[in-house]
């Protein structure tokens, strides 16, 4: 029961592992939440939970999927809480300010396509989450099944339907970029 | 088509299996059946190339930003903080004993009937703070900033020590949870009360605890109408009043909330008397 013993070794191991995947986790958080302030909060909450259940991570190779699963569950818990306490969150949403884009943001904005982002936004949320995990973050279907708790068949079917939808929406974009 | 379920492949099943084929997660028999089907079915073959195309477009043209520097710093600070709060190793037998004790304590807590009037924020213990606590906070020896036992004493303390650092900072690494950053006891509406200041998402939020009172905030001009309704409901549920204050993190804690609270008290016709 009290398996969560933290030792100096586990502290340094957690510090190293957790920060290795920061970029990937931030991208997923940003896409799930939709704003940088919320993404930061989600990240911090994820790390708090990850530290509390660090003993459950047995192999370091599995760390990214494990952290992503925690982030995904945290996000869905927050969504449920948000629905239950809509008044409180609505008020706090007023607190979020529009961030000033950094030079890094501007550089990123030059390389990604708004059209692709718009097409992604049109996907149903359950399909979008899986497409993001598979095609942007490079997770395998089996890992996505573990992260989201969906059967692998459901993951593959949603992925297939999501890609089919995007293929139709992005046909003109694909032609303009030389895809057949 | 004939054969067992593993090797029979119609278009619908093939379509659902394409992502598994692309990520190399199908077994040999299914892969062979899929390839056989794809060779015969131009429509499914077209779907396969379409999926590969979408994969490539997303990997090339979807937004892939790095974590911003300020977020990176905040998260790194949080992780360091988490790692520094490690627990000591206990022998397994001791852990099991502690578990049994914790279960017993939980059973006792659940067994005893609770006073329905005491729900949350019953804690005068949180408010037993002194000027000494305040001094320690300013010296960085406390985790949160404590205002002191009364606003008057804190004001006197500040006035007597102009060299004290001001304004009181909110640490950026305080994280997503609402944190107590200050509190004091006071008499509000003739009732011994607690006035506390919280931060939430880096913004200041004030909280006043007034036991066993019903309250209508519709006359409080500093709140918008939907906020008045919301906070009135919150108060009635938790015997506490919670509202945001238009403060930046650079504002002195000892300024605005007390003015707001005094305005509230005056509005209710019961002046505020700091203890």
Confidence grade of residue B168 (pLDDT, cut at 50, 70, 90): very low
The ipTM value here is 0.79
| Cross-strand pairs, B203 | B200
DSSP state of B27: -
What's residue A71's pLDDT? 94
Q: What is the pLDDT of residues B17-43, one digit of tens each?
A: 899 998 889 888 888 888 889 989 999
Q: What is the pLDDT of residues B213-265, one digit of tens each?
A: 444 555 545 455 655 555 555 445 444 443 333 333 333 333 334 444 444 44
User: If we measure between CA atoms, which residue out of B188, B243, B198, B204 comes closest to residue B220?
Assistant: B243
Residues 6 or more apart whose Cβ sits within 8 Å of residue B50: A163, A164, A167
Helices assigned H by DSSP within chain A: 8-20, 22-33, 36-52, 63-84, 86-93, 103-111, 114-122, 125-131, 141-148, 152-169, 171-176
Shortest Cα–Cα distance, A132 to chain B (Å) = 9
Work out the average pLDDT over B55-78: 81
Using DSSP, state whether B183 is helix, strand or coil.
strand
**What is the model's pLDDT at position B212?**
37
- For residue A145, what pLDDT is reported? 94
Range from A45-49, A147-151, B50-54, B86-90 carrying the lowest mean pLDDT: B86-90
User: Is A170's CB within 8 Å of B57's CB?
Assistant: yes
Residues of A in contact with B9 (CB under 8 A): none
Does B158 score more than 60 pLDDT? no
Q: How high does pLDDT run on average in chain A?
A: 78
Contact B79 A19 (CB under 8 A): yes
Residues 130-149 of A with CB under 8 A from B: 131, 134-136, 138, 140-142
For residues B157 and B170, the answer to whether their CB atoms sit within 8 Å is: no
Show pLDDT as tens, one digit a residue, over chain A (180 residues).
334 455 657 777 787 788 888 889 999 998 888 888 888 888 888 988 888 888 888 777 788 899 999 999 999 888 877 665 433 332 233 333 334 444 444 444 445 678 888 898 889 988 999 999 999 889 999 999 999 999 999 999 999 999 999 999 988 888 887 776
Closest to B184 measured CA to CA, from B247, B261, B248 = B261
Per-residue model confidence (pLDDT) at position A25: 92
Q: Chain-wide mean pLDDT for chain B?
A: 57
Q: Quick one: tokens of B94? A: 């001791």
Asked whether the beta carbons of residue B51 and residue A164 sit closer than 8 angstroms, the reply is: yes
- B4 at A interface, C-beta within 8 A: no
pLDDT band at B100 (very low <50, low <70, confident <90, very high): confident
Q: DSSP string spanning B40-77?
A: H-HHHHHHHHHHHHHHHHHHHHS--PPPPHHHHHHHHH
Which residue in chain A has the smallest CA separation from B12? A157
| pLDDT tens figures, B110-126 | 665 443 332 232 222 23
Q: Which residue of B has its CA nearest to A78?
A: B176
Chain B touched by A89 (CB under 8 Å): no
At A174 the pLDDT is 85
| A15·B68 Cβ contact <8 A | no
């Amino acid at each position: 029961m009290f398996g969560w013993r933290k030792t100096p070794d586990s502290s340094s191991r957690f510090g190293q592992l957790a920060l290795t995947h920061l970029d990937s986790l931030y991208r997923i958080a940003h896409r799930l939440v939709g704003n940088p302030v919320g993404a930061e909060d989600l990240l911090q909450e994820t790390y708090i939970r990850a530290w509390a259940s660090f003993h459950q991570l047995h192999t370091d190779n599995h760390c990214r999927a494990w952290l992503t699963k925690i982030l995904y569950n945290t996000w869905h818990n927050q969504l449920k809480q948000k629905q239950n306490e809509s008044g409180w969150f609505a008020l706090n949403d007023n607190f979020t300010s529009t961030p000033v884009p950094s030079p890094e943001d501007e550089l990123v904005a030059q390389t990604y396509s708004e059209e692709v982002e718009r097409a992604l936004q049109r996907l149903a949320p359950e399909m979008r989450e899986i497409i993001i995990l598979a095609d942007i973050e490079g997770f395998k279907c089996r890992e996505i099944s573990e992260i989201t708790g969906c059967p692998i068949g459901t993951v593959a079917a949603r992925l297939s339907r999501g890609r089919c939808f995007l293929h139709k929406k992005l046909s003109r974009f694909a032609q303009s970029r030389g895809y057949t | 088509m004939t054969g067992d379920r593993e090797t029979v492949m119609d278009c619908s099943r093939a379509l659902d299996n394409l992502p598994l084929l692309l990520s190399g997660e199908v077994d040999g028999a299914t892969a062979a059946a899929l390839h056989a089907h794809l060779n015969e079915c131009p429509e499914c073959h077209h779907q396969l190339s379409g999926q590969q195309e979408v994969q490539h477009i997303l990997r090339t043209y979807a937004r892939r930003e790095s974590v911003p520097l300020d977020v990176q710093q905040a998260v790194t600070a949080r992780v360091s903080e988490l790692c520094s709060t490690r627990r000591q190793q206990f022998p397994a037998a001791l852990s099991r004993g502690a578990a049994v004790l914790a279960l017993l304590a939980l059973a006792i807590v659940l067994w005893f009937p609770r006073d329905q009037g005491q729900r949350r924020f019953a804690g005068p213990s949180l408010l037993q703070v002194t000027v000494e606590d305040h001094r320690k906070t300013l010296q960085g020896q406390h985790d949160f900033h404590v205002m002191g036992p009364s606003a008057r004493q804190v004001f006197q303390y500040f006035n007597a020590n102009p060299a004290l650092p001001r304004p009181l900072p909110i640490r950026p690494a305080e994280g997503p949870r609402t944190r107590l950053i200050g509190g004091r006891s006071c008499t509000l509406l003739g009732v011994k009360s607690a006035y506390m200041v919280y931060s939430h998402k880096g913004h200041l939020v004030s909280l006043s605890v007034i036991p066993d009172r019903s309250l209508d905030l519709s006359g409080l001009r500093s709140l918008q109408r939907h906020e008045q309704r919301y906070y009135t409901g919150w108060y009635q549920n938790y015997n506490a009043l919670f509202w945001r204050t238009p403060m930046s993190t650079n504002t002195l804690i000892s300024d605005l909330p007390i003015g707001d609270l005094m305005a509230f008290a005056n509005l209710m016709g019961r002046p505020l008397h700091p203890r």
